[in-house]
Amino acid sequence: MIQKADELVFAPLGGVGEIGMNLSVYGYGRERKKSWIAVDLGVSFGGGEDLPGVDLVMPDIRFLLQERKNLLGLILTHGHEDHFGAIIDLWPRIKMPIYATPFTAALFEAKREAEPGAPEIPINVVPLGGTIKLGPFEVEFVSMSHSIPESNALIIKTPLGKVLHTGDWKLDPTPVVGPATDEARLRALGAEGCLALVGDSTNAVREGRSPSETEVAATLAKLIAEAPQRVAVTTFASHVARVRSVAEAAYACGREVVVVGRAMERISQVARETGYLDGIADFRSAQTYGYLPRDKVVCLCTGSQGEPRAALARIAADAHPEIGLTKGDRVIFSSRTIPGNEKVVNRVINGLIGQGVEVITERTHLVHVSGHPRREELTELFGWVKPRVMIPVHGEPLHLAEHAALARKLGVPDVVGCRDGDLVRIAPGPPGIVDEVPQGRLYKDGNLIIEAEARTVADRKRLAFVGVVSVAVALDETGVMAADPEIALIGIPETNAKGRSFAEIVMETVAETVEHLPRARRRDPDSVAEAVRRAVRGGIAASWGKKPLCLVHILTV
């Protein structure tokens, strides 16, 4: 029942203005007293020049913590890391109920069991096409094709209308595993009346339609059948349809499938448990690889993104304990390179080519297709659902802008562009941004979760650029140096352009600085430390042109 002051709102806390780290919330009720549901809780990946030492990037959940008593549950659309990868680290802070379909629930449990010390996290399993009731929300799961089994859109029903949260999807009539996108239910939603569509924008810049998984399967079958010797295929471990296609192609020409890499082993086991590899013979372990004839094996590997510890990177470096490739073997990258991973992927490819291995990628063969909709598919969905309001999500600014422009061109009455942290009122009245909610990023750094605003990562980036000088000075009670200073230089050239040692420059700078300080200031360790720090940085900058980080320790003896 609609109360006079009730409103329906939406806020993305991750995944809008970026790809990855998805987290959205929907609220229903009065301005200061709403019930909330969360959709997905994902990660993006750190490392590289921008985030040295950071393993994962997660959404800041301050807003969820603020609304904890009003938070009814977390609903997972599917099992990709950018949609559920932050749960193990962040759930203990919230401890809200979680809802997912069987494959996603099983995949999460396998992931949790593989992480040492991971907490017990119960998941409520919802059948495909099932519905759950959470306070004023009734949420229906709708099957969508994607690059992992059981990707779901959510029809979020409220007294003010129905919202379609698409999740990740495409239109693929022959997806190899799992049901195709449920066109009948989406058309029915359009007939019933769809208040708003909150939709995936990843491929909104691409014309046409995404090819089908069946087309990729045909290409893989041909490439594997024609290969004269060993074949290794790498793909996203979660891509069960691709795993099945590789297995069927291998068995069709009398080859055994060897699975290499823990993530691939885990996904394969979950897929068998949930029925997505029914009819496929058991895979062989890496230990059997060396005993199989070279023309009777297909190696299914992790490492499509060049991850240094993954199976394929170790094979390319000739450092894998069980798996090796030689001249005449074939490697198929059944994947696309995620932007930012080009250097590490190319390093793996170059390593393989250096061993005489033939490398095949999507540049020359249809060995990969996207799991996201292009413009014709987006257009078709708009025609089925006929939303009154459209909010583009899941994309960088260019993707969001193109998706919004397409919606306007197709006649959607209201299109609301937003970014992480914007609070969008969907109903009643004209939709639009009405407020902001706390949002940000958290970094997983080893075993710790740190705030993005902390100095940790900024200091690491500076260290990589300018190095560090450590100085330890011992002063007696009168402020006189009791011994020569102890100095350590890290990441700094040994000598300047004239051949003079930087260690010598620092040593002299420290001695002169302390000697010229007034006696009263020498009795203040903090004052001495600051003077030495400034002088050392300036002294090195005069010869090098860069100011290093300088750490000064003053000991009174």
Confidence at 457, pLDDT banded by 50, 70, 90? confident
User: CA neighbours within 13 Å on the CB side: how many for 157?
Assistant: 12
Same domain, 443 and 539: no
What is the average per-residue pLDDT within 454-479?
84
Rounded distance, CA 529 to CA 279, Å?
71
Asked if residue 481 has pLDDT above 90, the reply is: no
Q: Mean pLDDT, to the nearest integer, of 455-459? A: 79
Whether residue 459 is contained in a domain is answered as no
3-class secondary-structure state, position 200: strand
φ, ψ of residue 388 to 5 degrees: the values are: -85, -25
445: in domain: yes
**pLDDT, tens digit (0-9, with 9 covering 90-100), for 121-159:** 999 999 999 999 999 999 999 999 999 999 999 999 999
Range in 257-271, 301-315, 364-378, 512-526 with the lowest mean pLDDT: 512-526
The answer to whether the CB of 209 falls within 8 A of the CB of 372 is no
Q: Tell me the pLDDT tens digit for each residue of 218-244.
A: 999 999 999 999 999 999 999 999 999
Mean pLDDT of all residues in the chain? 94
- 397 and 498: one domain? no
Last residue of a domain, one of 329, 360, 391: 360
Q: Is the pLDDT of residue 1 over 80?
A: no
Please say whether the beta carbons of 38 and 96 come within 8 A: yes
Q: What is the pLDDT of residue 88?
A: 96
Residue 544: pLDDT over 80: yes
Q: How far apart are CA 423 and CA 420, in angstroms?
A: 9
Q: Does the pLDDT of residue 72 top 90, yes or no?
A: yes
Based on the fold, state whether residues 378 and 249 are members of the same structural domain.
Answer: no
Residues 28 and 89 in one domain: yes
435 and 476 assigned to the same domain: no
Query: Are residues 483 and 392 part of one domain?
Result: no
**What pLDDT shows up at residue 466?**
86
Which pLDDT band holds residue 48 (cuts at 50, 70, 90)?
low
Whether 60 contacts 451, CB under 8 Å: yes
- Domain boundary among the residues 335, 360, 385 is at 360
Give me the pLDDT at residue 296, please.
Answer: 97
The token pair at 267 is 């996904």
The answer on pLDDT for 448 being more than 90 is no
Q: What is the pLDDT of residue 444?
A: 87
Euclidean distance between CA atoms 255 and 292, whole angstroms: 9
Average pLDDT over every residue of 102-124: 95
Residue 456 lies in a domain: no
Q: Do 323 and 225 contact (CB within 8 A), yes or no? A: no
Mean pLDDT, residues 335-340 taken together: 85
Do 38 and 134 fall into the same domain?
A: yes
| Within-domain flag for 436 | yes
Structurally, how many domains does the chain consist of? Answer: 3
Residue 469, beta-bridge partner list: 489, 550
Which CATH number do you get for residue 274? 3.40.50.10710
39-48, 316-325, 345-354, 467-476 — which is least confidently predicted? 39-48
Last residue of a domain, one of 336, 360, 384: 360
Q: Which residues of 470-494 are buried (b: 16+ CB within 10 A; e: fewer)?
A: ebebbbeeebebeeebebebeebee
Q: What is the DSSP string of 511-557?
A: HHHHHHS-HHHHT-HHHHHHHHHHHHHHHHHHHHS---EEEEEEEE-
Could you report the per-residue pLDDT of 503-537, keeping only the tens digit for each? 999 999 999 999 888 888 888 889 999 999 999 99
Rounded mean pLDDT, 311-330:
95
What CATH number corresponds to the domain at position 550? 3.10.20.580
Domain-located, residue 185:
yes
pLDDT (tens digit per residue) in 395-413: 999 999 999 999 999 999 9
Residue 50: pLDDT over 80 = no
- On whether both 33 and 77 belong to a single domain, the answer is yes
Q: Looking at the structure, do residues 540 and 517 belong to the same domain, yes or no?
A: yes
What domain range includes position 284? Answer: 213-360
CATH number at residue 163: 3.60.15.10
Read off the pLDDT of residues 238-261 as tens digits, 9 standing for 90 and up: 999 999 999 999 999 999 999 999
Would you give the distance in Å from CA 447 to the centre of its chain?
17
pTM of the model: 0.90
Do 34 and 109 belong to one domain? yes
Assess whether pLDDT exceeds 80 at residue 339. Answer: no
Residues 49 and 195 in one domain: yes
